[in-house]
Amino acid sequence: MVALHFLKGAAAMKVTQLSPHIGAEVTGIDLRNPTDAESRRRLNAAVVDNVALVIRDQDFTPRQYLAAIALFGEPMEQHFTQYALPDCPLVHEVSNRHTDKSGKRVMHGAGWHTDHTNHVRPPKYTSLYAVALPSSGGDTAVVNMRAGYEALPEAMRQKIQGMKTVNVFQGSASARYSGQSADAQAEHKPEPVLQPLVRTNPDNGAKALYFHPVKTENIAGMGAAESQTLLADLLERSVRSEFIYRHQWRKGDMLIWDNRAAMHRAYFDYDPGEYRLLYRVLVRGELPF
């Protein structure tokens, strides 16, 4: 039986590019079944090449989802442990019903960001799986920061080459982002972590812009205000519509993207009375360089 699944998985899987700069769709594979080495290679290459990948028609329990993620690497711990599933803690809920200590609804991920830049080894991939969806809206968008970097003027690329960002759990710029919970910082002692502003993807050698508008407090050797001005300018120049993949969720979708070449954000443009629940898993990355 296993051997049959093996052959079916490898032969039937189809990867279709969705736009010239970002996004691909995978059909014809059920990641609950054993997956052969060639399918694993193609899936990982598709994430790196296309930055964001949607794998259609999955039907996971949390444990099956976690097992599927192992095809891409080692799942890692996440911030906000209160959202971890009690019996499968590497899987977190991303829900529009979460509230902060004052009872206010939190809107995590409402602005462009990448995950956990304050970790020494931040996640190389982030994945979401749709569990409950509003009748319309609630998309997740991913932007190709490799294309964003390549689109910068040469003088700007030279200026930022070699710069390091200083990353904390929640930087002082967080006030601008309604998605951040006000009580979060108090629970996490910030221990700054340096990251390269221009990051090289070890899987293809490509450079990309790499920073988090909230967690990046400043650029090393530069004041906070000057740093934020530069980062805002880089964000504006690099987040272009043609570099964005805006994912409209369907039941059964598993979305995965390469944090070494991407930022992402959620859209809160749906009826808040409707339920939106995704499961999220992070895949451990390497030391950025």
- Nearer to ligand SIN among residue 39 and residue 114 (C-beta): 114
Name the phi and psi angles at 127, rounded to 5.
-130, 145
Give the H/E segment covering residue 150: helix 145-150
Min. distance of Cβ 179 from ligand SIN in angstroms?
Answer: 8
For the chain, the farthest-separated pair of C-alpha atoms sits apart, in whole angstroms, at 62
- Nearer to ligand SIN among residue 199 and residue 264 (C-beta): 264
Min. distance of Cβ 91 from ligand SIN in angstroms?
Answer: 13
Min. distance of Cβ 4 from ligand SIN in angstroms?
Answer: 36
Cβ–Cβ under 8 Å, residues 239 and 143: yes
Binding residue (CB under 6 A) for ligand SIN from 39, 140, 180, 227: 140
Residues in contact with 181: Cβ distance below 8 Å, sequence separation at least 6, in sequence order: 100, 106, 108
- Nearer to ligand SIN among residue 138 and residue 148 (C-beta): 138
List the x/- string, 270-289, binding to ligand SIN by CB under 6 A. Answer: --------x-x---------
Note whether 180 binds ligand SIN by CB under 6 A.
no
Min. distance of Cβ 100 from ligand SIN in angstroms?
Answer: 16
Closest residue to ligand SIN, judged by C-beta, is 109
Residues 60-119 that bind ligand SIN (CB under 6 A): 94, 108-109
Cβ–Cβ under 8 Å, residues 27 and 3: no
> What does the alpha-carbon distance between residue 237 and residue 239 come to, in Å, rounded to a whole number?
6
- Nearer to ligand SIN among residue 180 and residue 227 (C-beta): 180
Residues in contact with 121: Cβ distance below 8 Å, sequence separation at least 6, in sequence order: 284, 285, 286, 287
Give the H/E segment covering residue 194: strand 193-196
Cα torsion through 18, 23, 29, 35, rounded to 10:
140
Min. distance of Cβ 96 from ligand SIN in angstroms?
Answer: 8
List interacting residues with ligand SIN (CB under 6 A): 94, 108-109, 140, 264, 266, 278, 280
